[in-house]
Amino acid sequence: MNSVRVNVSQDGAGDFKTIGDAISSIPPNNTRRVIIAIKPGVYREKIFIPRTLPFLTFLGDWSEPPTITGNDTASVSGNDGKPLRTYQSATVAVDANYFVAINMKFENTAPHVIGTRQEQAVAVRISGTKAAFYNCSFYGDQDTLYDHKGLHYFSNCFIQGSVDFIFGSGRSFYENCHLNSIAKKVASLTAQKRSNSSLASGFSFKDSTITGSGLIYLGRAWGDYSRVVFSYTYMDKIVLPQGWNDWGDQRRDSRVYYGEYKCSGPGANLTGRVTWARVLTDEEARPFIGAYYVEGDTWLISP
């Protein structure tokens, strides 16, 4: 596929000074990849990429990744005077397919206050399919990464938050990622929303690392058939012995698919795990431990 490159630099040395202006310059329904090369800096912008703009790449500098930052929460009022809610709180929201981000930092700086309602503050919402993130970092508190829907691939990414900081209905593969909790008390790393046994969605984490503060569940069942698998992952002592949470609905215990495979570290001790968690065999783990889990051989491109 042919590609075109535009440059964004806050000092005026590029084609555009803002990421938003660069996106606005792209004609709808473009059929070639547009690489938006973003110079280092802190970009205080709220970014929305509609479905009509597929094949976009955000390309940052490996040694000094640019930051896109915001601080909206679910309770903040939008232009219509109504609360944004979680969906629209995202600093960066991607509805388009075939989105790629390389060497980028995304953040939502709104703090989570324990006991406060509607304080969800999303750094990135990804709702398009066949999206890939390489060497990116995601910083937030409650609901950092809204892995909403579609096929997604994350490689060598850093993801930080406190409550449900990776959540949604996506079918996603996280490889060599660092998951860092800043939970103040007890929280959950994932909240996966698979709602039907026939749906292919779920989160798979391979060769990753879990560290941080507080005490966390690996996942809690936002959906009745929530599916999350960790393989070859180092788990620090912050992981609770139970490992998993059914969100107060015991009917989900027989429906969810929560699996672990050849993980290590003090948090990977299976003594004390809930009885409905799965210790996967080689055969059971195989579908989850490669990019083929997200059909990557048909659409992933080299970063």
Number of structural domains the chain divides into: 2
Q: What is the pLDDT of residue 26?
A: 97
Within a domain: residue 161? no
Alpha-carbon gap, residue 273 to 283, rounded angstroms:
21
Confidence bin at 78 (pLDDT 50/70/90): confident
User: Is 164 marked active-site?
Assistant: yes
Q: What is the pLDDT of residue 112?
A: 64
Where do the H-state alpha helices sit in 38-121?
85-88
Alpha-carbon gap, residue 100 to 160, rounded angstroms:
20
> Tens digit of pLDDT for each residue in 197-227?
999 999 999 999 999 999 999 999 999 999 9
178 and 113 fall within a common domain = no
Q: What is the pLDDT of residue 85?
A: 85
Alpha-carbon gap, residue 14 to 8, rounded angstroms:
5
Arithmetic mean of pLDDT over the chain: 95
Between residues 81 and 153, which one has the greater pLDDT?
Answer: 153
Alpha-carbon gap, residue 8 to 19, rounded angstroms:
6
Within a domain: residue 62? yes
HSE (side-chain half, CA atoms, 13 Å) at 220: 17
Which of 93, 115, 148 is the C-terminal boundary of a domain? 148
141 and 20 fall within a common domain = yes
Residue-number span of the structural domain to which 299 is assigned: 168-303
> Tens digit of pLDDT for each residue in 227-260?
999 999 999 999 999 999 998 989 999 999 999 9
Bridge partners for 227 per DSSP? 257
143 and 1 fall within a common domain = yes
Q: What is the pLDDT of residue 34?
A: 98
141 and 182 fall within a common domain = no
The CATH number of whichever domain residue 217 belongs to comes to 2.160.20.10
37 and 128 fall within a common domain = yes
From the list 147, 164, 236, 246, the catalytic residue is 164
> Tens digit of pLDDT for each residue in 15-26?
999 999 999 999
Which of 89, 117, 148 is the C-terminal boundary of a domain? 148
**Mean pLDDT of the 169-182 span:** 98
4 and 142 fall within a common domain = yes
Confidence bin at 301 (pLDDT 50/70/90): confident
**Mean pLDDT of the 258-279 span:** 98
124 and 82 fall within a common domain = yes
> Tens digit of pLDDT for each residue in 79-129?
888 877 888 889 999 999 999 999 999 999 987 665 555 578 899 999 999
Alpha-carbon gap, residue 273 to 79, rounded angstroms:
46
Which residue from 260, 267, 255 is spatially nearest to 284, judged by alpha carbons?
Answer: 260
Q: Do 126 and 109 form a contact (C-beta atoms < 8 A)? A: no
Tokens of 81: 């005077």
Report the share of the chain in percent with pLDDT over 90.
Answer: 86
47 and 118 fall within a common domain = yes
Q: What is the DSSP letter of 118?
A: T
Q: What is the pLDDT of residue 88?
A: 83
